[in-house]
Amino acid sequence: MAEVIVLDTPDDAGRFVAAHIAREVRANPEFTLGVATGSTPLPVYQALHAESEAGTDFTRLTAFALDEYVGLPVEHPESYRSVVDREVTVPLGLDPARVHVPDGSVEGIQTAGARYEAALEANGGVDLQLLGIGRTGHLGFNEPGSSFGSLTRVKTLTERTRIDNARFFDSLDQVPIHCVTQGLGTILRARHLVLLAFGEGKAEALAAAVEGPVSASMPGSAIQLHARVTVVVDRAAASELKFRDYYQWAQDHKPDWQGI
Ligand code: GLP
């Protein structure tokens, strides 16, 4: 079962996760971080920036993004390449050559998935994968029905996801319909998954992902197949969890040596 950590605010969660990542990076400067986009991981990136200002050196870190829109020019401010550069690469001083985002160009689409899988393999995989969860239960852009064995490939977004993401664009029409996303099988290969969720709007999907049943209809439930998962949420997102008293009990009795 995942370790579930409930904190008061998204900023507390961001600091908690960033402190863990910074410790890992100090121990292994060539750490590989899987980065997610959307609003959820932003408090982690802000806190990582603070860790960087406080002296942790992230310049040898490698990053792999989960997904990218198809057909959005990379220089578009909402392409995930632009988002990752703005929120992660520049503030943390990463080497741009070590920051990987799937190729969402129409010209490269036939081979984008295989090339991304090859790059992940050549790197030796991902040490820690940050994940948000969509209201449809998606991880990356793996919408309901995605195979648990799936690898990086083109997917079609649900209307729910397009409407949710329209807030980043001027209008719904501008939200692409297709994306290239790491598959659930790709995500499950990362050595540690850290799933974040904040706010009441995520409570239902979070509870379904963490407490099951395991089903391709709820892509987030794939995390239950992974041996090392940490779920870090605020109280609102935790509100539908059946076993939250137990999670709290485990936190209250967590030995210092345990880590996450
Ligand atoms: C986006 C991303 C996901 C993200 C999810 C939730 O569309 N592709 O990686 O986790 O949807 O987004 P948000 O964090 O903005 O709620």
Q: Which two tokens stand for residue 83?
A: 């988002």
pLDDT at 260 over 90: no
User: What is the pLDDT at residue 1?
Assistant: 73
Q: What are the phi and psi torsion angles at 215 (to 5°)?
A: -160, 145
The span from the CA of 11 to the CA of 38, in Å, is 15
Query: Which of the listed residues 17, 37, 164, 168 should we mutate to test ligand 1's pocket, taking the one with most ligand atoms within 8 A of CB?
Result: 37
Q: Is 38 in the pocket of ligand 1 (CB under 6 A)?
A: yes
- Binned at pLDDT 50, 70 and 90, residue 70 comes out as very high
**Nearest-atom index, ligand 1, CA of 161:** 7
Query: Distance, CA 250 to ligand 1 centroid (Å)?
Result: 28
111-137 pLDDT tens trace: 999 999 999 999 999 999 999 999 999
Q: Mind listing the pLDDT tens digit for each residue in 139-191?
A: 999 999 999 999 999 999 999 999 999 999 999 999 999 999 999 999 999 99
What Å distances lie between residue 10 and 18, 27, 44, 47, 232, CA to CA?
12, 26, 9, 11, 9
Cα–Cα distance measured from residue 41 to residue 24, given in angstroms and rounded to the nearest whole number? 18
Please tell me if the CB atom of residue 39 comes closer than 6 angstroms to any atom of ligand 1: yes
> Does the beta carbon of 67 lie inside 6 Å of ligand 1?
yes
pLDDT of 259: 83
Ligand 1 center to 34 CA (angstroms): 14
Asked whether 141 lines ligand 1 (CB < 6 A), one says yes
Angle at 126 between CA 211 and CA 215, to 5 degrees: 25
Percent pLDDT > 90 in the chain is: 97
96: which 2 tokens?
A: 């741009």
User: What average pLDDT does range 1-16 have in this prediction?
Assistant: 95
Cα–Cα distance for residue pair 64/78, rounded to 1 Å: 17
Predicted confidence at residue 115, as pLDDT, reads 98
Asked whether the predicted pLDDT for residue 7 surpasses 80, the reply is: yes
CB-ligand 1 contact for 66 (6 Å cutoff) = yes
C-alpha 136 chain-centroid distance: 15
Ligand 1 centre and the CA of 133: distance in Å? 6
Q: What is the DSSP letter of 191?
A: S
CA separation for the pair 245, 242 (Å, rounded): 8
Task: Give Cβ neighbours of residue 21 (< 8 Å, ≥ 6 apart).
Answer: 31, 33, 44, 48, 51, 128
The predicted structure's pLDDT at residue 152: 98
Ligand 1 and 134: CB distance under 6 A: yes
- From the list 132, 14, 144, the residue with the least C-alpha distance to 67 is 132
Task: Report the distance separating Cα 256 and Cα 244, nearest Å.
Answer: 21
Residue 33, pLDDT > 80, answer yes
Q: Is the CB of 165 under 6 A from ligand 1?
A: yes
CATH of domain 3-253: 3.40.50.1360
Q: 68 pLDDT exceeds 90? A: yes
> Hey, how many other C-beta atoms are within 10 angstroms of the C-beta on 205?
22
Per-residue model confidence (pLDDT) at position 79: 98
What lies within 8 Å, CB to CB, of 36 at 6+ separation is 65, 66, 129, 130, 131, 132, 140, 196
The pLDDT of residue 84 is 98
47 pLDDT more than 80: yes
According to DSSP H, which parts of 104-259 are helical? 109-123, 159-165, 184-188, 203-211, 244-252
Cβ atoms of 33 and 20 within 8 Å: the answer is: no
40 lines ligand 1 (CB under 6 A): yes
| Each residue's pLDDT tens digit, 201-233 | 999 999 999 999 999 999 999 999 999 999 999
Q: How many A from CA of 253 to the centre of ligand 1? A: 32
Tokens of 61: 């870190």
235: left (phi over 0), alpha (psi -120 to 50) or beta: alpha
What local confidence, expressed as pLDDT, does residue 132 receive?
A: 98
